[in-house]
Amino acid sequence: MSATQGSDQPASTTKKFGKGEREIPHHTQKAKKFYPAEDESKPKKVRKSIKPARPRASLTPGTVLILLAGRFRGKRVILLKHLPQGVLLVTGPYKINGVPLRRVNARYVIATSVKVDLKGIDDKTVEKVGEEGYFTREKANQKVGEEAFFKQGEKPEKKQITSARADDQKSVDKALLSNIKKESMLFEYLRSTFSLRSGDRPHEMKW
């Protein structure tokens, strides 16, 4: 009987049985007789790498967009900025069509050929509005307690807009309104709502 040992593997023994020989592995190389009752959780291997969102070439700041989904579907809004979360920051402006500063998914908008000059807009306010957590801060502060649970059947209270949000809206829309009034029919264009009627062919329309 002799023992053999590799460079990294434990030693194994070789035994003679009659005219033949058989190599017996080390006890550490043998299969386990016991196994756990529950499968051990292993992290799933993700082969796909996370790629940054690539906006369409037509989605440039200042472009007038048409919203296709959500509460303000059919409204025309102005694109202000691409956010790192992969969404767009837009505004009505609020005084024209009632659309406030909000985030929208780029998949549910149509980019038109109309553009609005963003000259004079407050860049600091736009940067603050585009920060992650700006739109979710109010929801985190609202705590659903026992009184709110029993008031579910009552008439819902009107949503209160904070003074800080209102000030940000005014500072952003102030420069936009002055630039919009310089262009003829642009004020009425943003106020109008987009809709399709029977017989319309959207694939043949020039946006």
In the numeric block, which tokens belong to residue 136? 């979710």
- Cα dihedral 85→161→175→86 (10° resolution): 10
pTM confidence score: 0.66
Q: What is the pLDDT of residue 48?
A: 78
Give CA–CA dist 105/88, Å, rounded: 6
pLDDT digit string, tens, across residues 79-137: 999 987 779 999 989 999 999 999 999 999 999 999 999 998 988 999 888 888 888 76
Would you say how long the chain is, in residues?
207
- For residue 79, give the nearest of 52, 53, 112, 51 by alpha carbon: 112
**What is the identity of the amino acid at 14?**
T
Give a three-class secondary structure readout of 150-189. HCCCCCCCCCCCCHHHHHHHHHHHHHHHHHHHHCCCHHHH
Using a 10 angstrom Cβ sphere, with 0-12 exposed, 13-18 middle and 19 or more buried, the burial of residue 150 is exposed
Q: What is the pLDDT of residue 95?
A: 92
Contact between 14 and 22 (Cβ < 8 Å):
yes
- For residue 134, give the nearest of 165, 161, 104 by alpha carbon: 165
* Cis peptide preceding 93, ω within 30 of 0: yes
- Other Cβ atoms within 10 Å of 130 Cβ, number: 19
Q: How far is CA 129 from CA 82, 83, 84, 147, 170, in A?
A: 12, 10, 12, 32, 12
Ranges of the chain whose pLDDT falls below 70: 1-9, 137-161
- Cα dihedral 183→187→189→195 (10° resolution): 160
Q: What is the pLDDT of residue 36?
A: 73
Q: What is the pLDDT of residue 89?
A: 93
